[in-house]
């Protein structure tokens, strides 16, 4: 039995019964190695428990030494936020598309997990963002995000106007479709598609990336991860705030959205030899051989 991982939780992609076979193969492999297996309750409801103990995220946080997520980046985001308070490390088996956070390929899953059990891995911390919405002196919404907090236009589809401050200093008024506030982890997600900068995970920064700004001089900027960012919605606009594209809250005029680095972080385990730049080359198709005309 691995001394580091005595109990491992398995978490499957949301509403994806096709992961059942891979999940049960992995569960049987872990059991053969003397590892206790927990199946996340939503996953068990979808694919069946097959005799393995079922656990809520709260129970996983208390009982598991590691969580393996079979899915894409969205699945990793959900697991990260739900387990942030427990310091349970995460490993991802890519069952999605790009998979910036899911290192293990499905066809070599067992070999990769075997290496982890044998202690062949490297650990990396990723910080989260705390986001709150204040209205008339009350906190109306409180959440966390691993990738990004996004303020954007609502159902009407018109540009919104808002003020942005950093550490109490007014930065600018902006008229746009919204603003992405991204961690280094999230810099390769929504922020990347909006022409934001790619931040290496070791960079202690937060990217502010405008969405289709009315003024072309509104450019992405990166501020310190110790900064407190505040967005105030101008009259007569309504908007929304999203956390990792999975939680949302409807904003009204004069609402204040406050975003800052969380005291909590997430620990990812990578295979030995993992390289962030090699991952970017693969996922973004950098350095492909040029074909002659």
Q: Domain residues of the chain, as ranges?
A: 7-119, 128-263
Is 148 buried (19+), middle (13-18) or exposed (0-12) by CB count in 10 A?
buried
- Given a cut of 50, whether residue 1 has pLDDT beyond it is no
Quick check: do 7-119 and 128-263 share a fold?
A: no
pLDDT at 290: 63
Q: What is the pLDDT of residues 61-106, one digit of tens each?
A: 999 999 999 998 999 999 999 999 998 999 999 876 777 888 888 8
Per DSSP, 226 falls in state: T
Mean pLDDT value across residues 261-266: 96
CA–centroid distance for 182 within its chain: 10
What is the per-residue burial (b if ≥16 Cβ within 10 Å, else e) of 63-89? Answer: bbbbbbbbbbbbbbbbbbbbbbebebb
pLDDT at 50: 83
Which residue blocks in 9-162 are alpha helix, DSSP H?
20-32, 41-47, 57-63, 73-83, 109-117
Mean pLDDT value across residues 174-196: 96
Q: Give the up-direction half-sphere exposure of residue 204: CA atoms within 13 A in the CB hemisphere.
A: 5
- Given a cut of 90, whether residue 285 has pLDDT beyond it is no
Task: Quote the CA–CA distance of 183 and 165 in Å, as a whole number.
Answer: 17
Q: Superfamily assignment of 7-119 in CATH?
A: Probable inorganic polyphosphate/atp-NAD kinase; domain 1 (3.40.50.10330)
Q: What is the pLDDT of residues 95-152, one digit of tens each?
A: 767 778 888 888 889 999 999 999 999 999 999 999 999 999 999 999 999 999 999 9
pLDDT at 11: 96
Task: Quote the CA–CA distance of 93 and 104 in Å, as a whole number.
Answer: 5
Residues marked active site are found at 73
**Measured CA distances, 58 to 62, 87, 171, 241 (Å):** 6, 12, 40, 26
- Given a cut of 70, whether residue 24 has pLDDT beyond it is yes
| Assigned CATH class of 128-263 | mainly beta
Q: Which of 50 and 68 is assigned the larger pLDDT?
A: 68
Which residue blocks in the chain are alpha helix, DSSP H?
20-32, 41-47, 57-63, 73-83, 109-117, 190-193, 276-283
Task: Quote the CA–CA distance of 232 and 222 in Å, as a whole number.
Answer: 19
Task: Quote the CA–CA distance of 257 and 251 in Å, as a whole number.
Answer: 9
Helix (H) or strand (E) holding 213: none
- Given a cut of 60, whether residue 2 has pLDDT beyond it is no
Q: What is the pLDDT of residues 196-253, one digit of tens each?
A: 999 999 999 999 999 999 988 899 999 999 999 999 999 999 899 999 999 999 999 9
């Amino acid at each position: 039995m691995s001394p580091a991982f005595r109990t491992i939780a398995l978490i499957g992609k949301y509403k994806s019964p096709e992961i059942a076979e891979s999940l049960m193969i992995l569960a049987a492999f872990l059991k053969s190695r003397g590892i206790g297996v927990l199946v996340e309750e939503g996953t068990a409801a979808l694919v069946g428990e097959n005799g393995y103990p079922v656990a809520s995220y709260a129970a996983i946080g208390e009982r598991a030494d590691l969580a393996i997520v079979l899915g894409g980046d969205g699945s990793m985001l959900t697991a990260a936020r739900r387990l942030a308070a427990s310091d349970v490390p995460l490993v991802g088996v890519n069952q999605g598309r790009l998979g910036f956070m899911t290192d293990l390929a499905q066809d070599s899953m067992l070999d990769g997990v075997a290496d982890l059990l044998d202690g062949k891995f490297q650990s990396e911390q990723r910080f989260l963002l705390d986001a709150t919405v204040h209205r008339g002196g009350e906190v109306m919404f409180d959440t966390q995000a691993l990738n990004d907090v996004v303020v954007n236009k609502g159902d009407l589809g018109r540009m919104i106007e808002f003020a942005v401050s950093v550490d109490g200093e007014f930065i600018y008024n902006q008229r746009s479709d919204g603003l992405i506030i991204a961690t280094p982890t999230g810099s390769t997600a929504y922020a990347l598609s909006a022409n934001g900068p790619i931040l290496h995970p070791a960079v202690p920064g937060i990217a502010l990336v405008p969405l289709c700004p009315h003024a072309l001089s509104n450019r992405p900027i990166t501020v310190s991860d110790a900064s407190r960012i505040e967005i105030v919605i101008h009259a007569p606009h309504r908007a929304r705030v999203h956390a990792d594209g999975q939680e949302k809250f409807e904003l009204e005029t004069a609402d204040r959205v406050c975003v800052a680095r969380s005291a909590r972080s997430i620990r990812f385990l990578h295979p030995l030899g993992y390289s962030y730049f090699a991952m970017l080359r693969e996922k973004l198709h950098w350095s492909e051989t040029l074909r002659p005309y």
